[in-house]
Copies of this chain bind each other. A is one copy, B any other.
Amino acid sequence: MPLVRIDMIAGRAAADVAAISQAVHQAMVECLNVPRRDRFQVITEHAPGRLVFNPAYLEVPRTEGIVLIQVFLSGGRDEAQKRAFYARAAQLLTEGAGMRPEDVTIALAENTRADWSFGNGRAQYLEMPKEQWR
């Protein structure tokens, strides 16, 4: 169910981009109760001047290796789950995708179960029993 937009400055190797994609998804599966097959991401690379960031906000030293990860997902995760997700994503992106933890920037945006259609013109999350919600 989440739709994830991942924005970065162009220049990474294809394997690194793929590793970033995988690490973000893995952290969502582990910490946000997202099914493994529920993977929908839009990855966009930008020219340097087009991804604007402050390299020191909140005393976190960021570099041009910054990645902005915006996750649109149904509401229902609590603060503890969100915190766990941030921590795990930073860990996986550092260990597996060559990132600096300071460059992992995440923003969530919540909607509801009625706000999703996964094909065939249907609202699948309204059709399944609540017990299957994830």
Contacts and interface: CB of A to CB of B under 8 A. Distances in A.
Interface in A44-60: 44-46, 49-54, 56-58, 60
Copy count, this protein chain: 3
Interface in A106-125: 106-111, 114-124
A115 B121 contact: no
Contacts of A42: 7, 44, 46, 50-52, 68
B37 A56 contact: yes
The dominant DSSP class at the A interface is: mixed
A28 interface: no
A26 interface: no
Contact of A107 (B37, B52, B72, B104): B72
A104 B117 contact: yes
Given A14-B49, A123-B86, A116 B106 contact: yes
Interface of A: 3, 7, 14, 17-18, 21, 35, 37-46, 49-54, 56-58, 60, 62, 68, 70, 72, 79, 82-83, 86-91, 101-111, 114-124, 126
